[in-house]
Amino acid sequence: MPIELKMPALSPTMEEGSLAKWLVKEGDVVKSGDLLAEIETDKATMEFEAVDEGIIAKILIPEGTEGVKVGTVVAMLAAEGEDITAIGEGAVPALLLAPEIADKVATSIPAAVPVASSAAPAIGASRIKASPLARRLAEASAIDLSTIRGSGPNGRIVKVDIDGATPASMPAVAPGVPAAFAAAVPSIEPDIPHEVVKLSNMRKVIARRLTESKQQVPHIYLTADIHLDPLLKLRADLNDGLAERGVKLSVNDLLVKALAAALIEVPSCNVQFAGDNLLRFSRVDISVAVSIPGGLITPIIAGANAKGVAAISSEMKDRAERARNGKLQPHEYQGGTASLSNMGMFGIKQFEAVINPPQAMIMAIGAGEKRPYVVNNALTVATVMSVTGSFDHRAIDGADGAQLMAAFKRIVEKPLTLLA
């Protein structure tokens, strides 16, 4: 009996992916642990490993196919000695393709292997198939599940179906809302020379999540100017002492530690809004924004409050490098209790970052620059940077945000506390 190889869920939130590249071909013998394919998710390109051993009998989804739902049969694996020519004489079971790619895939599958219908079964009055997460999201958004066609296994309604749905009490586009605000694609291409660049999965997710953040999360912004010279001096002294260990601290490493310390001091900002509840975290996991080709990813320094600056530096360098190579594991970029985004290296003086849900705050770091500044009641020229905290006002009051900004400023200006 052949074994179905299905599109794996490579992260807790993954619902579809792109089959970027097959690493095997039909007729190849594979064993457990062999790499079968490269799967592109919204954050990284990850490897799909074989669990069983056998012979690749049929490849059903060609490489380069996008929008392949989790659970879709992508290939058939035959046991050693099994007649692989018999595989595919009937319909391939449980081929869970998104409707928009079913036609494309059908043309690439041999005629002997008909594609099962991708249409979801009719929704009867008895039971609506939906994932627990989809049910919670639908309830929170007043969405009638009976009006939704599920794209998951066997017509099951999943999160992505809810994301594109409209509450029953609202029209598809509220009157007076500009079309550009409700739709991502203009109805008519501009009469200007241009090229059309297809969005990657990562860019699609970034667009969707940040739009949701600005539409659903009430942002409040608080800005402070910070005297940076004491931190720069400490960094230089520490790097002199750590040179023999091959460790070189960046300003960002010290700011990650400072934000973690400030969040421990002001726990009312180390929180997450959760409907009728507020989650208050006892550990600080800092997501650090890293620019990569095609988008942005946020590797996490877990337990940053309990780690030394050298450990943070080493971990950050490793994760940033692997992020740029698409080699991060899901647990290394999913989660986090707060974020830090630094654009100072680009000479940006000050900016307001968009909160990354479900987190409730992000600290935006501007460039350190020479400015007139009062130090010890005397006007002097000092290195000063502007930082702006973005806070989810549902979870964090302005006064709490102000306390966090004050704590962060004090820690950076008296950085020896980072070594305590």
Dihedral over alpha carbons 92, 98, 104, 109 (to 10 degrees)? -10
- Cβ proximity of 391 and 408 under 8 Å: no
Q: Residue 96: count other Cβ atoms within 10 Å of its Cβ.
A: 23
Q: Is there a catalytic annotation at residue 393?
A: yes
- Cβ proximity of 180 and 186 under 8 Å: yes
SS3 (DSSP) at 105: helix
Q: Along the chain (420 residues), what's the average pLDDT of each consecutive run of 10 residues?
A: 83 77 90 87 78 88 88 87 59 43 48 42 53 72 76 72 59 41 58 87 84 95 98 96 93 98 98 95 96 87 96 95 85 92 96 96 98 95 98 98 98 94
Beta sheet of 65-69, edge-to-edge order: 45-49, 35-40, 16-22, 65-69
- Cβ proximity of 92 and 57 under 8 Å: no
Superfamily of chain region 219-419: Chloramphenicol acetyltransferase-like domain (3.30.559.10)
Determine which one of 194, 227, 331, 393 is catalytic. Answer: 393
Long-range contacts of 281-284 (CB under 8 A, 24+ apart): 281/337, 283/337, 284/259, 284/260, 284/337, 284/338
Pick the CATH number of 3-106 from 3.30.300.30, 2.40.50.100, 1.10.4160.10, 3.30.200.20: 2.40.50.100
pLDDT at 88: 52
pLDDT at 349: 97
Beta strands in 351-400 (DSSP E): 361-365, 369-375, 378-392
Q: Where are the domains of the chain?
A: 3-106, 132-204, 219-419
DSSP sequence for 265-293: HSGGGSEEEETTEEEE-SS--EEE-EEET
pLDDT at 379: 96
Give me 166's structure tokens.
């409209």
Per the listing, tokens 């949701």 go with: 212
